[in-house]
Amino acid sequence: MDDLQALVNGIHREIAAHTRRGKVADYIPQLAAVDPAHFGIAITTVDGREFVAGEADTAFSVQSVSKVFTLTLALGMVGDRLWNRVGREPSGSAFNSIVQLEHEHGKPRNPFINAGAIAVADVLLAGHQPKEAIGEIVQFVRFLAGDDSIVIDQRVARSEAETGFRNFALAQFMRSFGKLDHPAEHVLGVYFHHCALAMTCRQLSHAGLFLAAGGRNPATGRTVVSRDRARRINALMLMCGHYDGSGDFAYRVGLPGKSGVGGGILVVAPGKASIAVWSPGLNENGNSLLGSLALEMLAHRTGWSIFGA
């Protein structure tokens, strides 16, 4: 642990030397304009220490990383009844695929693919107007991170709403099976906005710390979820957090994680730390190319793995 800052600095130097950086998510216009040269990493340990390198304090669009937090909120609202609406299995398909919905009668395979997160957003809308549900999500993330400066990037949210035709199709398809309780445009308003949360690696590592500490935020001493629920969220992150690249990530890194097409990845080392990386260039599965490599380096050099050192 004492050498962790030197280790992080070394990873940053190695990543900076890479010329193959992946491809940014060009199907969302605001993300297409992001320079793939960015890289940041932040580690927050359960005893409150921080280790950062690169652009750890530059805000970026967290995109699907936010689904960890909306899942946590939804489980707090309805508990295990959520699993009547969405499954807990890896998808094996692209994150925006409609194929499985046809075969599985509109029930998404897991809460981290787009269809599953849309179902979660529908749950969060219960008894709320869309703006209220969005506000609750933002407040929850601010609470987890201990930072009231976290906001939604409205340009990204607008860009997603203007181009998210596949997500509209997913929502309408699910509603045709009776799997959404609210109008698709309201559900997608919530979905697009929480994906457009702008956070730094430092903020993201703070927000994920409760999952590394058995459901409790060690910075405040407050319990966010039960120990069992934290363990189960981590299990879902391991199995489903990187779409159809989840198995490869588990093989290479060995830690629960959730990626987003903005290039961010949140990773949990249970009992040790919460880690966030950001590098906007993506691999063929829509996960950060160099972010994944940096996490593989980190796991190898620290021995952090749920499968043993």
As annotated, the active-site residues are 64, 67, 191, 243, 261
Start-to-end C-alpha separation, the chain: 14
Token pair, residue 242, equals: 């990187």
Whole-number Å distance between alpha carbons of 153 and 188: 16
User: What number of residues does the chain have?
Assistant: 309
Contacts of 292 (CB under 8 A, 6+ apart): 249, 252, 253, 259, 265, 283
Element (H, E) at 116: helix 114-124
Asked whether 256 and 266 are in contact (CB, 8 A), the reply is no
Residue 29 CA to residue 232 CA, distance in Å, equals: 35
Residue type, 286: G
Token pair, residue 276, equals 């966030």
